[in-house]
Amino acid sequence: MASSSSSAALLAAAAGLLAAAVARSRTACQALVDKKWWHIPEERPATEIPMWQRDLGYGWRFLRFTLYEAKKKGLHVYWDVRTTKQTESGTVVEMLNSGLEGFIPRAHEGEERLEIGKDFKALCIQCPTDRIRNEPKRSPWPEARSKRVNKPQPLFSHWMWQQSQAKIEKAKTMEKGSIVEGTVRQHVRKGMLVELEGEGKPVGLLGARDVSRLKCTPVYAMKMFPPGTKIKCYVCHADRNNGRITLSTKEFEDDDHVGWMIRFPQWCFKNAEEGVRRYHQKRDAYIEMLQR
């Protein structure tokens, strides 16, 4: 018993000595590595700091992590940027929160060129995930880079921020269950983008599954509704917070005219009000039946 207690005491003493040695070595390393200027708070705005003094690593991490978290929640993040230089292909900008440089292609500036030295809102549409340091000599980021920049940098879009504001203002004037008129602007993977009347040319999404009660393939939708086609749509949802507008046309069909939206769309548009009235009547009767 005495031998076991003495061995335990020796082990405890050895562990104490080892912990003390580790603490002393850690303190010594911190004293050697720690620099006094690391603890001086930076009070200057990020854009007024010389480029060689900016913490670009922090800017990259903050941008990527913010976009990652926003993508999981299905949200868009609009950044404050300041224009610094213009080229034929676009505008060079810097982020106000970190001083990180980015680029806005000419197609994403909007109808007018951005003024130098002004602050704008922009959406990050591409963020390089390559190495931040020791990049290869030639990098494909960004695709529409300026001549003086040949390194990875994020791409921003001021035009998409303008579109979001236009859709928010349009959504405030729309009511669920109403009928609106628009023009097919573009065919996308999820369906069609329909341009609505209003300042800023807001758009709504007409999903591929919401065109007709029958399946409508993308090729057939492009044939029947090419860009520029005037159509009527049923408002399924209009979010006044983020401007998401969801449209549909299958409500114009009834049980006797299933699939006519992709075969005789003009007849459906002509009788859109009657089709919506029947759809609401049938929907209310079904809800009443479920509540019995």
Q: Are residues 196 and 140 in the same domain?
A: no
My answer on whether 146 and 176 are in the same domain is no
Are the C-beta atoms of residues 142 and 127 closer than 8 Å to each other? no
- One domain for residues 177 and 123: no
Indicate whether 211 and 280 sit together in one domain.
yes
User: Do 155 and 139 contact (CB within 8 A), yes or no?
Assistant: no
Of 123, 127, 128, the residue nearest 156 (C-alpha): 123
- What is the model's pLDDT at position 143? 46
Q: What is the pTM of this model?
A: 0.72
Q: ∠269-168-144 over CA atoms, to 5°?
A: 100
Tell me what pLDDT residue 130 has.
Answer: 55
- Does any domain span residue 71? yes
What is the full per-residue pLDDT of the chain (292 aa) written as tens digits? 455 666 677 677 767 766 776 666 666 555 556 667 667 777 888 888 888 888 888 888 899 999 999 988 888 899 999 999 998 889 999 999 888 999 999 989 988 888 998 999 999 998 876 555 555 555 555 444 444 445 678 999 999 999 999 999 999 998 888 899 999 999 998 899 999 988 888 999 999 899 988 888 888 889 889 999 999 999 999 988 888 899 999 999 888 888 888 888 899 889 889 888 999 998 899 999 999 8
Q: Are residues 198 and 132 in the same domain?
A: no
Evaluate whether residue 19 is within a structural domain: no
Of 265, 141, 175, 165, whose CA–CA distance to 214 is shortest? 265
Query: Does residue 280 share a domain with residue 185?
Result: yes
Question: What pLDDT does 145 receive?
Answer: 45
CATH code of the domain covering residue 59: 2.40.50.140
Domain membership flag for residue 106: yes
The answer to the question of residue 220 being in a domain is yes
Output the CA–CA distances (angstroms, integers) from residue 233 to 208, 252, 265, in the order listed. Answer: 13, 9, 11
39, part of any domain: no
Classify residue 21: in a domain, yes or no: no
Please tell me whether residues 52 and 153 are part of one structural domain: yes
Instruction: Say whether both 177 and 149 belong to one domain.
Output: no
Is residue 202 domain-shared with residue 124, that is, in the same domain?
A: no
The Cα-based distances of 248 to 34, 116, 186, 215 in angstroms read 62, 42, 16, 14
Tokens of 122: 């922009």
Note whether 50 and 155 are same-domain residues.
yes
Separate counts of helices (H) and strands (E) for the chain = 6, 10
31 is a domain residue: no
Q: How many domains does the chain have?
A: 2
Report if residue 1 sits inside a domain: no
Residue 127 structural domain: 46-162
Q: Find residue 103's DSSP bridge partners.
A: 92, 155
Residue with tokens 């520029």, as numbered in its chain: 228
CB 233 within 8 A of CB 194: yes
Examine the fold and report which residue of 102, 137, 162 is the final residue of a domain before the chain moves on: 162
Same domain, residue pair 119 and 183: no
- Domain end among 162, 185, 205: 162
Instruction: Identify the domain boundary among 162, 195, 219.
Output: 162
226's CB contacts (< 8 A; 6+ apart) are 184
User: Quick one: pLDDT at residue 144?
Assistant: 43
Domain match, 158 and 176 both:
no
